[in-house]
A = this chain, B = another copy of it.
Amino acid sequence: MIKTQVEIDKAAMLLKLLGDKTRLTMMKILDTHDCCVCEFVEIFKTSQPSISQHLRKLRDVGLVKEERRGQWIFYSMNKSNEYYSFIQQVINQLPDQNYHLKELEEKGTRITCC
């Protein structure tokens, strides 16, 4: 179910989630590409547990999905989430972040398995 209006409590909760540069960038990237944890670790140059914890928060409210592919776990946007259209209104206004993936490709560390 897609909402055109979001209760104020839910909206505040979602905006707080997006109000972090790491998570916001993740969401922008995931809107167009699936990504595995180790790629995010490289993109954000932070620790793996930190990335996992950010992803967990996004997953806990159903904004993203996870799926194992071989040894990797790929995250993807959950476009059937009831708040996806709300989220989309925000991320559509953000500049493209796919240069991060380009950088991984150039370094040869982009994971394109399965």
Give chain A's interface residues, CB within 8 Å of chain B: 4-9, 11-21, 24-25, 28, 86, 89-90, 93-95, 97
Taking a contact as CB atoms closer than 8 A, the residue among B9, B15, B21 that contacts A8 in the complex is B21
**Nearest CB of chain B from residue A55's CB, rounded to whole Å:** 16
**Nearest CB of chain B from residue A103's CB, rounded to whole Å:** 15
A16 partner residues in chain B, CB cutoff 8 A: 15-16, 19-20
Complex CA gap A47/B9 in Å reads: 20
15 CB < 8 A contacts A-B = A5-B93, A7-B95, A8-B25, A11-B90, A11-B94, A12-B19, A12-B21, A12-B24, A13-B19, A15-B18, A15-B24, A15-B90, A16-B20, A17-B19, A86-B93
